[in-house]
Every structure is written in C-alpha cells, then in structure tokens.
C-alpha cells in the first residue's frame, strides 16, 4: 500500500461523521413502530431480537446490497473515463 | 514472469478495467450516481498523479478504493451541513413508509443504507458487496480488522432495525400496520 501520502491516505475521523441528533430522531420514530409490534411477541420470539429480520429477509438484504453494487459494476465504462485516461496518457507522452 | 514489469502501462490498463468496480463502490457509498462519477474522476486523477507511490504487485483495487473512500470522507466533512439536511428528510420518509409487509423493497433498502453512519456503510459494502476480505477492507479503511468486523455487525443490525418495521407479516394484515404507522406519525408530530 502506498500509505504515506497524506492526500491519498487520510482515514481518521470517519467515525466522527455520525451525527447523533439525527440518528436519534430516526431511531426514536422507528422504535415506536417496533415497540407496538413487539408488545405481544416479545417472549415468543425467544432469542430473536426486536426488529431483527428473519432468515429469508436477511438473505434478501444481502442480495439487495450485492445488486446495488453489481448493477453499477456491470455497466460499461462511461466515455468520460476512457477519454480522461487517454488524455492523461497523451499528456504524459508529451512530457 | 515478465508480467511483473516495472512498466506502468499494465497498471494503467488495470485501472481502466477497475473503473466499473470503482463506480459501484462510489454509488454504494454516496447513493448518487453523478456524485459517484465525480468521485471516480477525482480518484483516477489522484491515482494517476501518485502512480509512483503504488507498489507494483500489490492490490491495485484496494489502492484505488482507498483513494476513493478518502476522497469521499474528506468531501463529507466539507459538505456536512448539506448532507445533514438531506438525510433528515430521508429519515422522515423511511419512518412513515415501512414498505410492503414481509418484503424488502429496493428503495426502502437504499434509504436505510444511506441512513447508516458512513463508516458502517463503507464496511458493509466492502465486505458484503465488493467481496473484500475483512483484512482487505481494514487496509482500505485504514483501521483494525476488529473495527471492520464490528462496523459490519453494527451495520447489519442497524439495517435490520431500520427495515425491521417490515416484519409486520407476523402480526397480521395491513390494517394493523397502518394503525401503527398512524400512531407513529402522530407521536413524532407531538414529540
């Protein structure tokens, strides 16, 4: 890894991007929903935690994640990037 | 073999071949195709200008991903305010539209993914979609393997939590869900 360059290596602080106030708002609203849902079933679900997805839905979740990625990864390279690399190469040859 | 050449031409060709992967990573990270392509462009320029710092024979994909994510995260810090407003609206939409019962809708999923803290989203995408090992993901994100594992776990349970509202299947027909949603909307207005 070419890790020393500060412009290409600057990973600290990623965790600080979380914004607690907003997170809390989203969580609280959803919590109300789940709280209603779980009212009767809390005991029956046993080890399954509140709001957790069942196995099928977990698999679905994995598939959705992969398809968001692969939908784009399977697209052809846009022209602008082919041209960009050509231009960079041409510039280098001149030097 | 002669493939381990000091010529930089193969690296450049490999860069071209990795653009689809870079775009996919960028879209998954920022959730916006146009912004993603700008990120890719900036990544390619930076990579090109720093080709001498890439060690031939090491993982080019990981190197490019590293540049892209660093570009993204420093941009995030700059655009913090703007992002805050936008995500606030997304949170509202997600909370009031829990989606079809028992079915994870693509749009709900995208919204939920965008609601994850960026570092968790990154870890999840690297490991769960781009096929990186925990070790590779750790080197891309510049953190410990254990940190990646815990981010992936937290991302998964957060997603479950955000999308867990769709498990209403177990609790009866739509009317029940609607009643709950109605109460939730009321609660969020008063609270």
ipTM entry: 0.71
Q: Are B25 and B130 in contact (CB under 8 A)?
A: yes
Q: Which is more confident, B152 or A55?
A: B152
Tell me how close the Cα of B49 comes to any Cα of chain A, in angstroms.
Answer: 9
Identify the burial level of B68 via C-beta atoms within 10 angstroms of its C-beta, where 0-12 means exposed, 13-18 middle and 19 or more buried.
buried
Q: Decide if pLDDT at A65 tops 90.
A: yes
> Which of B12, B23, B62, B175 to substitute to test the interface with A, most A CBs within 10 Å?
B23
| Out of B45, B98, B113, closest to residue A33 by CB | B98
Architecture of domain B1-78: Orthogonal Bundle (1.10)
pTM for the model: 0.67
pLDDT at A50: 52
Q: Are B148 and B123 in contact (CB under 8 A)?
A: yes
Chain A CA closest to residue B49: A88
Q: Decide if pLDDT at A49 tops 60.
A: no
Query: Which residues in chain B come in under a pLDDT of 50?
Result: 1-6, 92-100, 166-173, 175-176, 189-191
The CATH code of the domain at B86-191 is 1.10.10.10
Q: Where are the domains of chain B?
A: 1-78, 86-191
Tell me how close the Cα of B164 comes to any Cα of chain A, in angstroms.
Answer: 4
Q: Decide if pLDDT at A33 tops 80.
A: no
Interchain CB contact of A29 with B (< 8 Å): yes
Residue A52 main-chain phi, psi, to 5 deg: -75, 150
Give the tens place of pLDDT for each residue, A2-30: 444 444 444 444 444 444 444 333 333 33
Say whether A73 and B24 touch across the interface (CB within 8 A). Answer: yes
Task: List Cβ neighbours of B126 (8 Å cut-off, separation of 6 or more).
Answer: B25, B65, B132, B136, B137, B140, B141, B148
Q: Considering only CA atoms, which of B24, B13, B63 is closest in space to residue A85?
A: B13
What is the Cα–Cα distance from A68 to A80, expressed in whole angstroms? 22
Q: Are A38 and B150 in contact (CB under 8 A)?
A: no
């Amino acid at each position: 890894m070419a890790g020393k360059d500060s412009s290409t290596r600057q990973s600290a602080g990623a965790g600080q991007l979380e914004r607690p106030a907003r997170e809390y708002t989203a969580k609280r609203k959803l919590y109300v929903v789940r709280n209603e849902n779980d009212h009767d079933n809390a005991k029956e679900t046993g080890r399954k935690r509140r709001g957790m997805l069942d196995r099928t839905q977990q698999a679905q979740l994995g598939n959705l994640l992969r398809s968001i990625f692969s939908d784009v990864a399977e697209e052809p390279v846009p022209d602008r990037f082919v041209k960009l690399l050509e231009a960079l190469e041409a510039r280098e040859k001149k030097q | 073999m002669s493939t381990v050449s000091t010529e930089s031409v193969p690296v450049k060709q490999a860069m071209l071949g990795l653009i689809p992967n870079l775009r996919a990573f960028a879209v998954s990270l920022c959730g916006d195709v146009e912004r993603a392509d700008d990120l890719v462009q900036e990544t390619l320029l930076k990579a090109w200008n720093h080709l001498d710092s890439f060690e031939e024979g090491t993982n080019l994909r990981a190197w490019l991903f590293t540049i892209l994510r660093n570009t993204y995260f420093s941009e995030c810090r700059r655009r913090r305010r703007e992002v805050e407003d936008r995500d606030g609206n997304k949170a509202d939409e997600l909370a009031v539209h829990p989606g079809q019962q028992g079915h994870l809708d693509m749009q709900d999923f995208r919204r939920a993914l965008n609601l994850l803290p960026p570092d968790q989203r990154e870890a999840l995408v690297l490991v769960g979609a781009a096929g990186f090992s925990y070790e590779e993901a750790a080197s891309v994100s510049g953190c410990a393997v254990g940190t990646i594992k815990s981010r992936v776990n937290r991302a998964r349970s957060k997603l479950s939590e955000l999308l867990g509202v769709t498990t209403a299947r177990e609790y009866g027909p739509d009317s029940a869900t609607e009643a709950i949603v109605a109460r939730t909307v009321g609660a969020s207005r008063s609270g």
